[in-house]
Chain A
């Protein structure tokens, strides 16, 4: 009896190994275009991305106000010395006209640059917040969440750009961001920025991203909400 079982087992193994088609691999779901599944349109993609950025900004806003409330008593920042944000090197339009003057590609690139520039600093921020005893776990989780969101947002914007490129809306001048773009959050003096400064800067930059994305969307797909 055991012998027959053994033979059956051996046969099964052989079949599994030998059969080339039995290898498990992932197959794309929507291989056959619109008939297969629902492919999100550019407008949908934009909506998702904008929603994502709005969420990210609100989280950063919360963290910043929380930080300000509990750790910095004076609201007027009298005597406060602002160090430059590390992203100040990136040229960003500081007004509506300036933003509208930029081409779509440039605008997209700015967005991507910004998001890229915050990848590592956000990770650092989370680390330092988790290390410090002052922050409760809720705040450090928020920082982690922020970092994840920034990462996902970047990926989303890249997809949008890809889509636009496919659709011919974007020229090929949008280059992939090199690793050199990822900057370390060092101020001019070379010192690392404090948590508060990081938060302050990120809050501002997430607001920029949101605004730029909205402008981009209403320029490219102005159907609704514009």
Chain B
């Protein structure tokens, strides 16, 4: 009792002391690997654990499967430190070895985990030997023949162990090795190595069921400098190109028609309507060309018929034509030509709607108003010709002798070359042109508006064409048609006033003095309304009574000019849809207007 107690206490104290001194039992060793190089012997290595500060001894014990007999390692030295070598006598194949390592030191021991080993499956041969690499020069180019020998320990002669080999090649600068499998042979030819370069070669081997050996030491070989004659490549290229040429030729042959079409397109024959090629071939050109002749072309129009009656311009001393510019507000005419208001032409305020505008702002500018009527024909023409060039579109210029164009009036784009050519009596359009697009109510009443509307449109035409337009006739879009029968009684109307709705109110001038009709140019001339077109365009009939050379018979064919009464433009104001009534209202077919001339 006392002894055991003393022993316990002593051991406890010893432990404490040893712990204080830093010594302890050894740590657990560990078997790292067991390998057999030739399937006849094998070696096991272990890793010692912590030795606990004291000298530790290691012992390896094993027992075979299904046997309880424990044996200790026969050889600790041959294979180095911490190893156990099993020689041939101690090695049994196809038997499991149960191996443990025991570490012992003064304070205790420690046993490693057991490891089961079957020698047949832990074979790792030694590296192959005598690796040689030589350059063999041949017609196709030099190559390297690598040869080696089996590891000395492996017994392949008896068939006990079967090895297969592997080699790898690379240049010094390359990262990756090029690996080749050599099977069971002991040589290998390496082709396609770059000339004039140095290569590194290594070999290793493996049994049929086992581990690969280590790579051998590097063997260096230098390739000679040679020019590869890639004959085979050229042959292949030639054959390939010939093949392609053949295919192309055949394709072309098959598609020769379309190729011909592509390269030599057929000359297109004449494609004239009515043109008969056969006739041409027959050689009778007359017949051919006759077929081309279209009856009725070019349209023969009696241009004379198309001449709008000239509205005689009232000639005055001052031959200033003050035309309104687009900027009516500015211009309300500072025409200097005096207005002749005695002639019974009515108030000069009847000149135009410009007037109306002017009236709004300037009562006194009447005299300045557009005195188109005061222009003599020649002066007109001259003025027109001289001034028009200098006219800026839309610029309200006015001065003596300047011509201002009526924008609306000039909305008719047709140049009237006749006019200039013949220098006929100029015609003023005092009434704004009423186009189809003008509002139905607006006819002349909206002259203002029209002007404004059309001004921007016609701005571009304010140059010469505009000047021409000044002489052009406003035209209804409809062709002139035989108009009103001249059988109505004639009556003059006078613009009485323009009511706020932009309507000209006319009143007959039957009570006024009448000019003898047709007495002279300067007299008032009235034109008969021929027709009222759909859009409130009054077509004036040529007055055959005045100077009609052809007589009365044909309305609309006289070329007499009927200068409108400048002072009395009658702007027919049409109520919507009831033009006829309006006319009737007027009582007669005569309308003193300059604007509504048939167009051509």
Binding site for B on A (CB under 8 A): 54, 57, 61, 76-78, 82, 84, 92, 94-97, 99-100, 204, 207-208, 210-211, 214-215, 217-219, 222, 225-226
Contacts and interface: CB of A to CB of B under 8 A. Distances in A.
Contact of A226 (B91, B96, B159, B208): B159
B251 interface: no
Interface residues of B, number: 27
A36 to B, nearest CB: 32
Q: Which 7 pairs from chain A and chain B are nearest by CB?
A: A218-B159, A214-B159, A94-B92, A96-B160, A215-B159, A94-B93, A204-B94
Interface of B: 39-40, 65-66, 88, 91-96, 113-116, 118, 120, 155-160, 162, 184, 208-209
Contacts of B114: 76, 78
B157 A218 contact: yes
B91 A82 contact: no
B95 A211 contact: no
Interface SS of chain B: loop
A217 B93 CA distance: 20
Contact of B40 (A57, A95, A215): A95
Contacts of A95: 40, 88, 91-93
Given A96-B40, A215-B159, A225-B184, A54 B95 contact: no
A84 B93 CA distance: 15
Contact of B88 (A82, A92, A97, A204): A97
B542 to A, nearest CB: 114
Nearest to A93: B93
Contacts of B118: 204
Nearest to A208: B94
9 contacts: A82-B66, A96-B160, A214-B162, A215-B160, A217-B159, A219-B159, A225-B162, A225-B184, A226-B159
Contacts of B96: 82
A77 B120 CA distance: 18
Residue among B93, B115, B157, B159 facing the most chain A CB atoms (10 A cut-off): B159
A113 to B, nearest CB: 15
A82 B116 CA distance: 11
Given A96-B39, A219-B159, 7 more contacts: A76-B114, A76-B115, A78-B114, A94-B95, A96-B158, A96-B160, A218-B159
Contacts of B115: 76
A207 B160 contact: no
A222 B96 CA distance: 32
B93 A226 contact: no
Contacts of B39: 96
A145 B96 CA distance: 27
Contact of A214 (B66, B160, B209): B160
A204 B118 CA distance: 10
Nearest to B115: A76
Contacts of A207: 94, 120, 209
Residue among A61, A99, A218 facing the most chain B CB atoms (10 A cut-off): A218
B158 A211 contact: no
A94 B118 CA distance: 12
A78 B120 contact: no
A225 B94 CA distance: 24
Residue among B40, B155, B156, B160 facing the most chain A CB atoms (10 A cut-off): B160
Contacts of A54: 208
A78 B209 CA distance: 24
A220 B552 CA distance: 149
Contacts of B160: 96, 99, 211, 214-215
A66 B190 CA distance: 38
A226 B161 CA distance: 9
Nearest to A217: B159
B430 to A, nearest CB: 111
Contacts of A208: 94
A135 to B, nearest CB: 24
Contacts of B94: 92, 94, 204, 207-208
B113 A76 contact: yes
Contacts of A210: 208
Contacts of B162: 214, 225
Contact of B158 (A77, A78, A82, A215): A215
Contacts of B91: 95
A95 B159 CA distance: 13
B225 to A, nearest CB: 39
B289 to A, nearest CB: 88
A215 B115 CA distance: 30
B113 to A, nearest CB: 7
B211 to A, nearest CB: 14
Contacts of A211: 160
Residue among A54, A214, A215, A222 facing the most chain B CB atoms (10 A cut-off): A214
